[in-house]
Structure 1
Amino acid sequence: MTVSDSHSHIIILGAGKGGTALLESFLNLPGVRVLGIADKNPAAPGLKLAQLHHIPTSQHPVDLIQKKDIHLIVNVTGDPTLPALLQPYTNPGTEVLGGSASKVLWELIQHQIHVQSQLFQAEKLAGFGTFASGIAHDINNPLYVILAMAEAIQEETDITEIRQQAASIYEAAKRIQTISQDITQYARASRSQEFVQVHIDKQLDEALKIARFATKFQDITIDKHCQDGLVIYAKPEEILQVFVNLLTNAIQAMEGKGTLTLSTEKQDGYVHVAITDTGCGIPSENLQKIFDPFFTTKAVGKGTGLGLYNVRTIVRKYQGDLTIESAVGKGTTIVLVFPCFPSN
């Protein structure tokens, strides 16, 4: 490698579960550049992820390994005949990692992914302390309806009135069920390993259902300007976690009163998501620190300091970007930028 280019140039052979895991990890390493990924299955998930990041893909490994300046080929196909077939086409200075060595590398990366997912889950569950009072408030309201109607129905003799009261009880119970389902679904650890089409407007709506438990919500105005049909390619649970975290911070910053503005649009092949609050704002000396792990300005027990760190980690995982503007006493705007779902 020359001084001018200190990156390790890598080709991945195999775009199934193992190749996808390798690609995810390599994309987060600043010293690694993936020059291509190959798999005979055109629907392999690693090929779709590579296309999102504008990395060359192929169903024929030979097309990729003949590229110049390749330092390492990682073969996770599991095909014992492939090394002999590729050997004549491999450049003399290129190292090939396969067999047991590539299996060990894959297992190490799987462990890293597991630890990171546990970190995300721990931060998510820690946030439920913030939601507790809001959840209790939203459950208590329909509970009062159920208790009042149940008490009245015991002495009611008019069958029409009884049916109306029973209907009120049913609707209140359904409301509690919906709250329970929303919370349970968000709290559940992510089981999906697949990248799918994620509709941004739907994820924002789902995140708002959770984030509204963070504080008193009745004096906060929601102003939405969302373009229909915006889709990215990601794991929906991770995008939901990003939105819940950012919306919760915005709502808490307004301390129960203000305007929360959500806007989405497509620009030059990218989806832009802007979240603006009219809260307390962030001091300029903290703007460079808020994405550092374990940095928090909240009181002890009120925050883990991992929320925004996880947000940035997830956004960058999908070749996204994140910018923040804030003024003390005026509010904060955070803009997320993601590549649109590839048309191919």
Structure 2
Amino acid sequence: MEKSEFERVIEQLPIGACIINQDMTITFANPTFLGGLTIRQPDLVGQPLLTVFEEQARFLKRKIDSVFILKNPSFSYWQQRPHVFPMRSSRPITGDESQMYQNVQFMPLSNENAEVTHVSIFVTDVTAEASYFIQQSDLKNALEDEHQQLKALHQELKVAQKKMLQSEKMASIGQLAAGVAHEINNPIGFVSSNLETLKDYALKLIKTTQTQKKIIVKQAEDRFIKLLEDVYERQGVDFILEDLPELLDESLDGAERVKKIVNSLRDFALSDEESWMEVDLCAEIESTLIVLKNELKYKVQIEKQFPAEPVFLWGKASKIRQLLFNTILNSLQAMVSGGTLTIECKQEQDKIKLIIEDTGAGIAESDLERIFDPFFTTKEVGQGTGLGLSEVYTITEEHEASVDVLSKVGEGSRFVFVFNTPKSS
């Protein structure tokens, strides 16, 4: 009776669960695990885990081996590896089917002799964390509502005054972003440095340990060699020596990714009071896409068409960043239900051409002539200030460049910028 009740509880858990033995064969899988899979597998019991999930076999084997050898649980969080198993998840906000973001736990199962005979795998759906981005959207809408309340006063000011207010707002945001980037840079700097040193220490210790073992095996008596091998086996030393460099490489890779994000945030926040210089257009696009990562997630596919060599234009870096930010953000906001954002930059003789194209809602022909006017917007009340594209046009004129817009309702919009190449010294 108790076993039957236990089985019913396991089958109804909203967490995917399966069990494997020492041969990596699946001995149990609950309905949540089976039902979430996107691959057609009527019954997984009796099948080899590493064959069924071939793409993740190397990762799964390393995790499971660590549980059998070290007799400790192992974990995989979605930030590190979002899709361990090919599973679907229904997003709570939109109801759209998407890949499940997972936290995976690998837990040892021991017998009465404390020997690990099986490993249980628990898969938890954490896709709901996408609600974080809804909170960010609500915050943005609240800020835009404040701008809307000031609109009546702004209309009475000259265009120059309106642009100055917008510049001050962007400067405030820039100062905040620069401060955040500075605060993060300090700890991530010494973490990266310590990890590099730790990796160097680890490699030296591994080499020393391996050399010591070789010497002992050659010189020591059989009873000492057997004792050493027993210690190595019980402590999982061979596995640790193999796994340690890879763990440190993963940690260094994570720290490097944080550095790139912080550097992009810092670059975006730089003051626009700067000299004219050569600006690497493709690099600035990459930086802007990192800053806009929250807007991109879950809905927009990015297609980049960049030449092999860097493309330099003559201008102010912060202004170009603002132009890219406003134009790309405008395209993303036009693709409410998802779509494709295509960005192309190329050099044609003495000119640089930048094309930003989306598959969004498009712009009505009657509105095309007004999209660069200050405070003109087709968005609903509270959804936009109408200053973004106006600023884009001002920056374009300041750089003695040109911009053309082609758009069709229901199909999307295409912004084509033409800039000057760097001036020869």
Q: Deviations over 1:29-70 (max 9, x none)?
A: xxxxxxxxxxxxxxxxxxxxxxxxxxxxxxxxxxxxxxxxxx
Partner of 1:253: 334
State the one-letter code of the partner of 2:368. L
Instruction: Write out aligned runs for 1:147-296 (5 A).
Output: 159-160=240-241, 161=243, 164-165=246-247, 167-190=249-272, 192-217=273-298, 219-226=300-307, 228-255=309-336, 257-296=338-377
Which of 1 and 2 has higher RCO (CA within 8 Å, sep 6+)? 1
Identical aligned residues as a percent = 27
3-state SS of the aligned residue for 2:370? coil
Q: Distance in 1 between matches of 2:275 and 2:161?
A: 15
Unaligned runs of 5+ in 1: 1-111, 128-155
Indicate how the Cα distance of structure 1 residues 284 and 297 shifts in structure 2: closer, same or farther if over 3 A, else same. same
How many Å apart are 1:193 and its aligned residue?
A: 2.2
Indicate how the Cα distance of structure 1 residues 219 and 236 shifts in structure 2: closer, same or farther if over 3 A, else same. closer
Partner of 2:32: none
Q: How many residues align?
A: 206
Q: Distance in 1 between matches of 2:398 and 2:346?
A: 21
Indicate how the Cα distance of structure 1 residues 308 and 226 shifts in structure 2: closer, same or farther if over 3 A, else same. farther
- 1:120 matches 2:167: yes
How many Å apart are 1:332 and its aligned residue?
A: 0.6
Q: Distance in 2 between matches of 1:293 and 1:240?
A: 20
TM-score, normalized by length of structure 2? Answer: 0.42
Indicate how the Cα distance of structure 1 residues 197 and 185 shifts in structure 2: closer, same or farther if over 3 A, else same. closer
Q: Highest CA radius of gyration, 1 or 2? A: 2
How many Å apart are 1:279 and its aligned residue?
A: 1.3
Indicate how the Cα distance of structure 1 residues 234 and 289 shifts in structure 2: closer, same or farther if over 3 A, else same. same
How many Å apart are 1:253 and its aligned residue?
A: 1.9
3-state SS of the aligned residue for 1:288? helix
Q: Distance in 1 between matches of 2:170 and 2:385?
A: 7
3-state SS of the aligned residue for 1:285? helix
Q: Deviations over 1:122-170 (max 9, x none)?
A: 247679xxxxxxxxxxxxxxxxxxxxxxxxxxxx976444664454344
- 1:324 matches 2:381: no
How many Å apart are 1:232 and its aligned residue?
A: 2.0
Contact 2:173 2:269 in 1 (8 A): no
State the one-letter code of the partner of 1:209. I
Q: Deviations over 1:197-244 (max 9, x none)?
A: 112222222222223332425651414144734322211111111112
- 1:298 matches 2:345: no
How many Å apart are 1:185 and its aligned residue?
A: 3.0
Contact 2:277 2:422 in 1 (8 A): no
- 1:336 matches 2:417: yes
State the one-letter code of the partner of 1:182. S
Indicate how the Cα distance of structure 1 residues 157 and 166 shifts in structure 2: closer, same or farther if over 3 A, else same. farther
Unaligned runs of 5+ in 2: 1-158, 175-234
Instruction: Write out aligned runs for 1:5-20 (5 A).
Output: none
Partner of 1:150: none
- Whose helix fraction is larger, Structure 1's or Structure 2's? 2
3-state SS of the aligned residue for 1:206? helix
Q: Distance in 2 between matches of 1:253 and 1:115?
A: 24
Q: Distance in 2 between matches of 1:157 and 1:202?
A: 46
Indicate how the Cα distance of structure 1 residues 217 and 271 shifts in structure 2: closer, same or farther if over 3 A, else same. farther
State the one-letter code of the partner of 1:248. L
Q: Distance in 2 between matches of 1:124 and 1:298?
A: 25
3-state SS of the aligned residue for 2:324? helix
